[in-house]
Amino acid sequence: MTVISHGRTRRAALMSAICALVVMGTGFTGCSAPDPDEGTNGVGKLPAETIQKRTRTAAKSAASVRLSGTVVSNGATYTLDMRLRAGGGSGSVTSKNGTFQLLRVDEHLYLKADAEFWDQQDGKEDGGSPAAVANTLDGKYVKVPTGDPAYKRFSGFTDKDMLLDGLLTLHGTLATDGHHEQSGVRTIRVSGDNGSGGTLDVSLEGTPYPLRLVRAGNAGTLRLSDWGKDFALSEPPKEQTVDYGQQLPSS
């Protein structure tokens, strides 16, 4: 796909150069630049509001997606690399406390991290020392109780529809902002308030999936890929799982 797209770009540049030479040499004015929407899915010719509706519909109907990049939420910055589908998701999250793995299968949410991550908690929940708790949980899938604050905070990172509903919203007056390219795929960019309300690159090839999102207010940049590609999602082995009870160690 990258080769094809780059080929189109080179051909377009060549045609523009030829046209410029013809115009300068002969005064002929009938030569025009190639249509940037030629051979596309056509959404580049639509109003910005319609493009946003089309891409939100496409994202919601897709069976799965991979989401990677940064998100700023409640003053905290998270670096995500998550694969999401109906019924859950899995992947890694990096915060100021370190990197941890998230896995959700239906309503069961698990958090997996190393001893260094868990060593930041205070050890009061089970009366043990921080080091003892950290060694117990090191490399284990810790089941997060639904009533624990961590469940509400992190389960959203594994919920495809909820996450995309919150992310794929541009603020302010919408407008198209030219043709671009993401990972070799031609896109049309939609912006809110000239970019201050965020920008969204929408695929011009095949289904109009969102491919890149720059959130308003410097709240992060995300790439969206692997649309519709299935992946395995199952409960972790029991021998690798720890059920910590009613509340996780604070961290």
pLDDT tens-digit profile of 170-202?
A: 999 999 999 999 999 999 999 999 999 999 999
Q: Both 96 and 6 in a single domain?
A: no
Burial class of 29 by CB neighbour count within 10 A (0 to 12, 13 to 18, 19+) = exposed
Give the residue from 63, 240, 71 showing the smallest Cα distance to 154: 71
Q: Both 82 and 97 in a single domain?
A: yes
Question: Which residues form the domain of 248?
Answer: 40-251
Query: Is the whole-model pTM more than 0.75?
Result: yes
Q: Both 29 and 100 in a single domain?
A: no
pLDDT at 1: 40
Across 200-227, average pLDDT: 96
Q: Both 101 and 188 in a single domain?
A: yes
Tokens at 66, concatenated: 């991979």
Q: Both 135 and 190 in a single domain?
A: yes
Give the residue from 242, 59, 31, 62 showing the smallest Cα distance to 138: 242
In this structure, what DSSP letter does residue 87 have?
T
pLDDT bin (cut points 50, 70, 90) of residue 243 is confident
129-140 pLDDT, tens per residue?
567 778 888 999
65-109 pLDDT, tens per residue?
999 999 998 888 999 999 999 999 999 999 888 999 999 999 999
Q: Both 30 and 44 in a single domain?
A: no
Quote the number of domains for the chain: 2
